[in-house]
Every structure is written in structure tokens, then in C-alpha cells.
């Protein structure tokens, strides 16, 4: 049987709405900034596989979703901090472009198989990035830590267990830098 893999379709939500959903999801799942993200993936029925990328995948990671399970593929040549963001990004696809996208669809029209590869710059990729940033670095907590650390992005990044680059992008998106 050949599987008809769909690709993520953007929700076309505003960044603030995607971010609010991500922060709510983190809270609901018991995820706190700096916590390991792998247990969250397992908690919601997912698996992380390192080094086995799907055919045609970029070397940045991917997700394959089937009814009742999903697999996040992570390359071996990236850093732990990059992997955390990639995992959160792929969770964004799972939450936004699978769970939320299916909420309002009649049963016969629901997405059953979704595959996303982390490359490109289309709207669905932006949405997954916004989700990842807000999941790992919720705005209120980020602003608080940013002020406590005297705007030192290296220290802020260490607190959230993300790269300094990711912390810098988050600071800019929150109009802090």
C-alpha cells in the first residue's frame, strides 16, 4: 500500500496566536524553559530518531505523522542546542498542521499522514519556527530573564538551553533588541 503523504498547510494565524498556543501547550505538557524536550515528545506519543533522515530530507530534520504516532528525525551533524530547536519546530508542525488543522475537519477529510521537512521559507515553516521559539522561550519568561541577565544573550540562551542566535532572534521578535 502506498501512503499519500501530505505536506503542512499553513493555518495563516498571526505570530502572536501561534505563540500563545505554543506557550499554552508547554504549560499543559508540564514543560518549563530549559527542561529536556525529549520526554515531552514521548509523552505525546512521538519518537525521536537520530541519524536516519527520510528520503529527500534536508539535513535539518523532519517529522512523519501517522494516526496515533509520529517520528521526528534529527541529523547527527548538528549541535544539541540546534536539535532542541528542531525538535520544537517539528512539534510545531505536529500541533499546528496536524492536530489543530484536523480539529475543524469532518472525519473523512482529516489529514492522516503528514510529512514535513525542515527547509525552505514558506508560511508553514514560519509558523513552526514561531511555535518552537514560544514553546522553548515563552514571551513573559523570556522578557523577565532578559532583564535579569542585563540583556546578555549568552546568559539568556543558557537559561533556556537554546543557541545565542535563537535567543537573539527571540529578543528581536519581542522588540527587546
Question: Within 13 A of 67's CA, how many CA atoms are on the CB side?
Answer: 6
The values of phi and psi at residue 63, to 5°, are -140, 140
Q: How far apart are the first and last CA of the chain?
A: 52
Question: pLDDT digit string (tens) for 20-43?
Answer: 999 999 999 999 999 999 999 999
Cα 87 to Cα 95: distance, rounded to the nearest angstrom: 12
Helix (H, G, I), strand (E, B) or coil at 98: helix
What sign does the CA torsion over 75, 6, 90, 67 have? negative
pTM summary value: 0.93
Cα 32 to Cα 63: distance, rounded to the nearest angstrom: 23
Which pLDDT does position 31 carry in this prediction?
Answer: 98
Take residue 50 and report the three cell numbers written for it: 537520530
Q: Which residue has the cell 494565524?
A: 13
Question: pLDDT digit string (tens) for 156-176?
Answer: 999 999 999 999 999 999 999
Which pLDDT does position 3 carry in this prediction?
Answer: 84
Which pLDDT does position 59 carry in this prediction?
Answer: 64
Higher-confidence residue of 17 and 51: namely 17
Distances (CA, A) of 145 to 91, 100, 159, 174: 24, 30, 8, 13
Domain boundaries, the chain: 15-172
Chain center to CA of 105: 23
Cα 13 to Cα 128: distance, rounded to the nearest angstrom: 11
Amino acid at each position: 500500500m502506498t501512503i499519500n503523504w501530505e505536506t503542512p498547510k499553513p493555518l495563516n494565524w498571526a505570530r502572536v496566536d501561534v505563540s500563545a498556543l505554543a506557550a499554552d501547550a508547554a504549560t499543559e505538557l508540564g514543560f518549563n524553559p530549559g527542561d529536556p524536550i525529549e520526554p515531552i515528545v514521548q509523552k505525546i506519543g512521538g519518537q525521536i530518531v537520530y541519524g536516519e533522515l527520510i528520503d529527500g530530507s534536508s539535513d535539518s530534520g523532519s517529522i512523519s505523522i501517522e494516526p496515533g504516532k509520529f517520528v521526528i528525525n534529527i541529523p547527527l551533524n548538528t549541535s544539541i542546542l540546534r536539535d532542541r530547536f528542531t525538535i520544537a519546530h517539528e512539534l510545531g508542525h505536529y500541533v499546528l498542521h496536524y492536530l489543530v488543522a484536523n480539529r475543524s475537519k469532518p472525519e473523512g477529510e482529516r489529514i492522516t499522514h503528514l510529512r514535513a521537512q525542515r527547509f525552505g521559507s514558506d508560511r508553514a515553516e514560519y509558523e513552526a519556527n514561531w511555535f518552537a521559539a514560544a514553546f522553548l522561550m515563552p514571551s513573559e519568561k523570556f522578557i523577565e530573564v532578559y532583564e535579569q541577565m542585563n540583556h546578555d544573550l549568552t546568559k539568556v540562551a543558557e537559561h533556556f538551553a537554546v543557541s545565542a542566535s535563537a535567543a537573539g532572534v527571540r529578543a528581536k521578535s519581542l522588540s527587546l533588541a
